[in-house]
């Protein structure tokens, strides 16, 4: 009997067509005969309406006739209504973009098995106005914090040659509701605003526009000097203001629906208004003034920190809170989800609950810079929902999501940004499972209330298989993956103990010597000594807890009431401190790291059982990654426990497995991430 089951499995696997992952979650089979789609009278045939009609003609298999309608009384702000009456499904909106989103929603329902019943009405309006991907792509084709090959933007070919990948990219984004793209790195080069580059940008924008996607650019604040030949970039200088106004006018002639600028200023060596004794308000408002006549926005990043500060986590609040209420209506302050830098687990940034009079937008990192990059499977929807649902206690009670969706003025724009994980690899994201984070980001921008389990189901059914024998086990893998990564990397609020040059592996000892900034070293954050572990942000330490509203500030500042997942973020905790389960901090660290190892091994075992439901190409590619993730979890566990044991002086619990590595060997190991490929995975420790 076992042989018969095995034979059936082999025959089933052999019948699955090999896939390179390029189709993402849009693996619909095209109709032999086009579905019946009617564009109603009075609805203008725009390129966007044409796309909606074409997608439905090609892929709708529901039998019903389809009606597309744009009317003034339709849902606004990209919203739509789906309504089934008899054998007709009507899709209506106040805009052609809304009709396109309705079409993709109907096709998604078809793919995941949600039928539209007679008389049923589905009405949706996106939560955030601007749902935007930030590409950290450079003009030379490299991608900062990119783990899926080179940039998808082929600047050397543009504008003469336009890659078909641009439209495939636009289609994928539109299918999950993403409506904006910043094309280049926040560490922007002045040359990005040259006339030659802007013509290339215009060619990309022409492809994105019919899919409802506005194009944005990151700008270097010193561009008037570097590109315009001025002697200054002082935002209050009249010549500087004129240069920016002229440049913006040039952009809008090429890209009429240009979205605006993303700005990283006076951070990590980037130029900004503080170079001239001016404030963030001066810089942001100057750009806002020149963009406002064209309907453009300024997204001004709050990621700032100085080497002299006693606590890097406090600096964004310290710089921006005094400026609350001084920014123009078309300025949005873009704030990373946590106070430091996209760590595996951070408390939410206190700016979300603090800035009452300035529009604030969350910035998430879709690319897994600190979470195993394109190798580890870590489903980030669970993290993002944890942040969005966190209570800030602003004005008596607002979650992060509610605070960022509240408009500070009638003209304010709400927004959410995600740092892209997309490259030119065939499957877009390097890992087939990493596609889930691109998918989930778009869906959460549209509807922050949708559950992580629902997002996992949708992704798995559309991308791999709708068979519940596949979806059920893999849903649990995705839903547990973030917590598992925290367990084997940095539990209880530990943070930033990565290898300094690539952030892939553990190096709590990292210190290359020389005149390096303390806040670039793991020891700055973990503060391990003979007494204990963790960063003291209580009133006796940096007083970072004071940046949160009460009663949260008091709760976080008391060792007895601080949530244990943030214990070492806010407290320097003795090794022998007894936690709520009756075990010491040291024993809990040991058990939690081992739990993470067990979970990573379990994920690899589950994937091995999925062979009958996935084509061989994607199965093998992902198997290598799950196996590597399990090995990496051991690497993390051994490195951290062996290193911290030097300070605690305490033995591993008797029922914990012995380390598989020696600390000396781990401290000597160097991963050459520049030449790192999937084929190198077995070469890691």
Output the CA–CA distances (angstroms, integers) from residue 277 to 221, 272, 300, 303, 308, in the order listed: 14, 10, 18, 19, 18
Location of structure tokens 């760590």 = 343
For 386-424, the pLDDT digits (tens) are: 999 999 999 889 999 999 999 999 999 999 999 999 999
User: Is 564 a catalytic site residue?
Assistant: no
| Euclidean distance between CA atoms 511 and 521, whole angstroms | 6
Contact 581, 567 (CB under 8 A): no
Asked if 69 and 43 touch (Cβ cutoff 8 Å), the reply is yes
Q: Read off the pLDDT of each residue in 434-440 and give the average, rounded to a whole number.
A: 98
- Looking at every residue in the chain, the average pLDDT score rounds to 95
Please check the confidence at residue 1 and state whether its pLDDT lies above 60.
no
Check whether 586 has a pLDDT greater than 70.
yes
Q: Is the pLDDT of residue 683 over 90?
A: no
What pLDDT sits at residue 671? 82
Closest CA to 235 of 185, 189, 289: 289
pLDDT tens digits, one per residue of 205-233: 999 999 999 999 999 999 999 999 999 99
pLDDT of residue 678: 47
pLDDT-above-90 percentage for the chain: 92
- Report how far Cα 364 is from the mean position of its chain's Cα atoms: 4
Q: DSSP H helical segments within 130-279, as ranges? A: 164-175, 195-208, 223-226, 238-254
pLDDT tens by residue, 632-667: 999 999 999 999 999 999 999 999 999 999 999 999
Q: Which residue has the higher pLDDT, 552 or 501?
A: 552
Is residue 239 part of the annotated active site? The answer reads: no
Q: What angle do CA 414, 199, 171 make, to 5 degrees?
A: 50
Q: Which of 257, 341, 564, 617 is catalytic?
A: 341
Instruction: Give Cβ neighbours of residue 507 (< 8 Å, ≥ 6 apart).
Output: 497, 498, 499, 500, 522, 639, 667
Q: 124-165, pLDDT tens digit by residue?
A: 999 999 999 999 999 999 999 999 999 999 999 999 999 999
Which secondary structure element, helix H or strand E, spans residue 185, and what is its range?
A: none
SS3 480: helix
Q: Which long-range contacts (CB under 8 A, 24 or more apart) does 288-295 make?
A: 288/327, 288/328, 288/329, 288/330, 288/331, 289/241, 289/328, 290/241, 290/244, 290/245, 290/248, 291/248, 291/260, 291/261, 291/330, 292/328, 292/330, 294/248, 294/249, 294/252, 294/258
Structure tokens belonging to residue 81: 């209504």
Statement: residue 256 has pLDDT above 70: yes
Query: Percentage of the chain surpassing pLDDT 70?
Result: 96
State mean pLDDT over 532-551.
98
pLDDT score of 374 more than 60: yes
* 268, 468, 609, 665: the active-site residue: 268
Over residues 542-558, mean pLDDT: 98
For residue 674, the model assigns a pLDDT of 57
Instruction: Give tens-digit pLDDT for 484-503.
Output: 999 999 999 999 999 988 99
309: confidence class by pLDDT, cuts 50, 70, 90: confident
Please tell me the pTM assigned to this model.
0.96
Angle, to 10 degrees, between the axis of helix 164-175 and the axis of helix 195-208? 50
Q: What domains, with CATH codes, occur in the chain?
A: 19-124 (3.30.379.10), 130-463 (3.20.20.80), 486-535+572-683 (3.90.1330.10)
Tokens of residue 212, six digits: 């409802």
**CB 216 within 8 Å of CB 190:** no
Q: Per-residue pLDDT for 21 more than 80?
A: yes
Q: Can 341 be counted among the known catalytic residues?
A: yes
Question: What is 334-375 written as a DSSP string?
Answer: EEESSSSSS-SS-PPPTHHHH-SSS-EEEEEE-S-TTTTTTT
Sign of CA dihedral 79, 84, 85, 89: positive
Overall average pLDDT of the 8-18 stretch: 59
Which of the four pLDDT bands, split at 50, 70 and 90, describes residue 673?
A: low
> Hey, what are 165's tokens?
């990948």
Closest CA to 446 of 418, 466, 465: 418
Could you tell me the two tokens for 450?
């949708």
Point out the catalytic residue in the list 55, 96, 319, 369: 369
> Residue 582 has what pLDDT?
98
Q: Indicate the SS3 state at residue 467.
A: coil
Determine the Cα–Cα distance for residues 249 and 253; give it in Å rounded to an integer. Answer: 6
- Side by side, the strands of the sheet bearing 65-70 are 37-39, 65-70, 88-93, 80-85, 121-124
Task: Work out whether strand 360-365 and strand 532-533 pair parallel, antiparallel, or are unpaired.
Answer: unpaired
Tens of pLDDT, residues 599-641 = 999 999 999 999 999 999 999 999 999 999 999 999 999 999 9
- Tell me the pLDDT tens digit for each residue of 313-357: 999 999 999 999 999 999 999 999 999 999 999 999 999 999 999
DSSP bridge partners of 38: 67
Residue 8: per-residue pLDDT: 45
pLDDT at residue number 4: 45
- 11 pLDDT above the threshold of 80: no
Residue 598 and residue 672: Cα distance in Å, rounded? 27
**3-state secondary structure labels for all residues of 243-258:** HHHHHHHHHHHHCCCC
């Amino acid at each position: 009997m076992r042989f018969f089951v095995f034979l059936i499995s082999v025959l089933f696997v052999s019948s699955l067509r090999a896939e390179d992952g390029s189709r993402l979650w849009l693996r619909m089979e095209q109709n032999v005969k086009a579905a019946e789609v009617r564009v109603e009278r009075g609805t203008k045939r725009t390129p966007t309406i044409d796309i909606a009609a074409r997608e439905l003609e090609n892929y709708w298999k529901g039998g019903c006739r389809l009606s597309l309608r744009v009317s003034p009384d339709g849902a606004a702000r990209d919203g739509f209504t789906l309504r089934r009456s008899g054998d007709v499904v009507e899709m209506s909106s106040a805009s052609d973009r809304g009709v396109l989103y309705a079409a993709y929603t109907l096709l998604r329902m078809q793919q995941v098995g949600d039928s539209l019943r007679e008389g049923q009405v589905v009405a949706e309006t996106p939560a955030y106005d601007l749902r935007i991907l930030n590409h950290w792509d450079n003009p030379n084709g490299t991608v900062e914090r990119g783990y899926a090959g080179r940039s998808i933007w082929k600047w050397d070919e543009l504008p003469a040659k336009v890659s078909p990948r641009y439209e495939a990219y636009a289609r994928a984004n539109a299918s999950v509701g993403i409506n904006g793209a910043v094309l280049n790195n926040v560490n922007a080069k002045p040359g990005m605003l040259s006339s030659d580059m802007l013509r290339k940008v215009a060619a990309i924008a022409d492809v994105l526009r019919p899919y409802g996607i506005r194009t944005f650019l990151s700008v270097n604040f010193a561009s008037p000097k570097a590109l315009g030949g001025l002697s200054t970039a002082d935002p209050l200088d009249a010549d500087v203001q004129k240069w920016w106004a002229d440049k913006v006018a040039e952009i809008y002639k090429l890209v009429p629906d240009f979205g605006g600028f993303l700005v990283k200023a006076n951070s990590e060596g980037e130029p900004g208004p503080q170079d001239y004794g001016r404030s963030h308000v001066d810089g942001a408002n100057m750009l806002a003034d020149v963009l406002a006549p064209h309907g453009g926005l300024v997204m001004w990043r709050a990621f700032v920190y100085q080497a002299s500060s006693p606590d890097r986590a406090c600096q964004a609040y310290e710089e921006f809170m005094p400026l609350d209420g001084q920014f123009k209506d078309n300025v949005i302050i873009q704030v990373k989800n946590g106070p430091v830098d996209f760590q595996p687990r951070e408390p939410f940034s206190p700016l979300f609950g603090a800035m009452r009079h300035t529009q604030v937008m969350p910035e998430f990192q879709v690319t897994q810079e600190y979470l195993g990059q394109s190798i580890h499977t870590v489903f980030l929807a669970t993290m993002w929902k944890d942040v969005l649902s966190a209570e800030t206690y602003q004005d008596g009670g607002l979650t992060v999501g509610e605070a960022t969706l509240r408009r500070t003025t009638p003209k304010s724009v709400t927004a959410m940004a995600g740092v892209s994980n997309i490259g030119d690899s065939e499957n877009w994201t390097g890992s087939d499972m990493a596609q889930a984070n691109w998918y989930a980001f778009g869906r959460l921008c549209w509807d922050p209330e949708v559950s992580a389990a629902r997002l996992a189901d949708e992704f798995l059914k559309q991308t791999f298989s709708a068979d519940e024998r596949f979806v059920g086990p893999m849903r649990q893998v995705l839903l547990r993956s973030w917590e598992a990564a925290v367990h084997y990397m940095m539990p209880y609020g530990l943070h930033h103990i990565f290898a300094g040059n690539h952030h892939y592996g553990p190096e709590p000892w990292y210190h290359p010597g020389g005149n390096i900034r303390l806040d670039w070293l793991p020891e700055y954050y973990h503060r391990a000594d003979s007494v204990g572990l963790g960063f003291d942000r209580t009133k006796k330490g940096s007083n970072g807890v004071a940046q949160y509203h009460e009663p949260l500030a008091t709760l976080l500042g008391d060792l007895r009431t601080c949530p244990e997942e943030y214990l070492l973020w806010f407290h320097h905790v003795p090794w022998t401190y007894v936690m709520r389960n009756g075990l010491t901090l040291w024993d809990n660290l040991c058990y939690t790291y081992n739990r993470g190892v067990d979970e990573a091994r379990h994920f690899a075992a589950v994937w091995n059982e999925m062979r009958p439901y996935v084509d061989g190409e994607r199965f093998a590619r992902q198997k290598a990654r799950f196996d590597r993730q399990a090995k990496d979890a051991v690497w993390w566990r051994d490195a951290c426990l062996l290193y911290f044991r030097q300070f605690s002086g305490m033995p591993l619990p008797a029922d914990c497995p012995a380390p598989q590595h020696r600390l000396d060997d781990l401290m000597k190991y160097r991963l050459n991430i520049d030449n790192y490929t999937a084929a190198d995975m077995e070469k890691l420790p």
